[in-house]
Structure 1
Amino acid sequence: MSDATGRGQGHQTSARVIEQSTREEGIVRAGETPITHERPEDWGWHGEAGKTGRIAGYVMIFFLLTLLVGNHEGRVEDLYILGAVLTIAVSLIWDSRRRKNAWRAR
């Protein structure tokens, strides 16, 4: 950890090191207040991948299904591939139903 002598600050006298209980120590400029909490929305993250994520899900289903075709003799790996395909498909169906009924009251 830094100390108050200026180590890590480039010996700037206008900045100060503060200890934060829920975060790492920080350097605060003179006249500024430390940030107590940053919401993900402030950085542009709203919790959904959107249309790109849904398209990526369909592409992954296609690529996983192409793995079923090949010269392998064992069929155990096919069960894992089909399980992954089923999981992705169920999540895509759930997402489409959720978006379709989002305006309705529960």
Structure 2
Amino acid sequence: MGSTALEKRKSTAVSGHTVSPADEPSAEWGWHGTFRVGTPAAGIFVGLAMFAMLIGNHEGWTENLWLIGMGAGLLAGVAWMIHKRRTSWRR
């Protein structure tokens, strides 16, 4: 039975061989990570922007509840992500 691309990628990662730029174009210029500062910063900015949208000309509470819920959920998600990142090595 032939091996799949995922199995080949796992075997090259385990054996220590270099990754071909044809498989992963970002390997050519060396970036494999995430935006460690940009992602939480953008989440906090958008979460606070949700609360800033409470100031407006809408009359009902339905919009306010959605804005508060989504803003609080987004900020809670950012806090959870930061907490997971700080405690990931302790497991």
CA RMSD of aligned residues (A): 2.4
Task: State the structure with more CA Rg.
Answer: 1
Q: Distance in 1 between matches of 2:25 and 2:88?
A: 22
Gaps of 5+ in 2: 6-19
Name which structure has the greater RCO, CA cutoff 8 Å, separation 6+. Answer: 2
In proportion to residue count, which structure has more strand? Answer: 1
1:42 aligns with 2:27: yes
Cα distance, 1:97–1:40 mapped onto 2, change above 3 Å: farther
Gaps of 5+ in 1: 1-21, 23-34
Cα distance, 1:41–1:90 mapped onto 2, change above 3 Å: farther
Q: Distance in 2 between matches of 1:41 and 1:53?
A: 19
Q: Give the TM-score of the pair, scaled to structure 1.
A: 0.54
Runs of 4+ in 1 over 4 A off after TM superposition: none
Identical residues among aligned pairs (%): 23
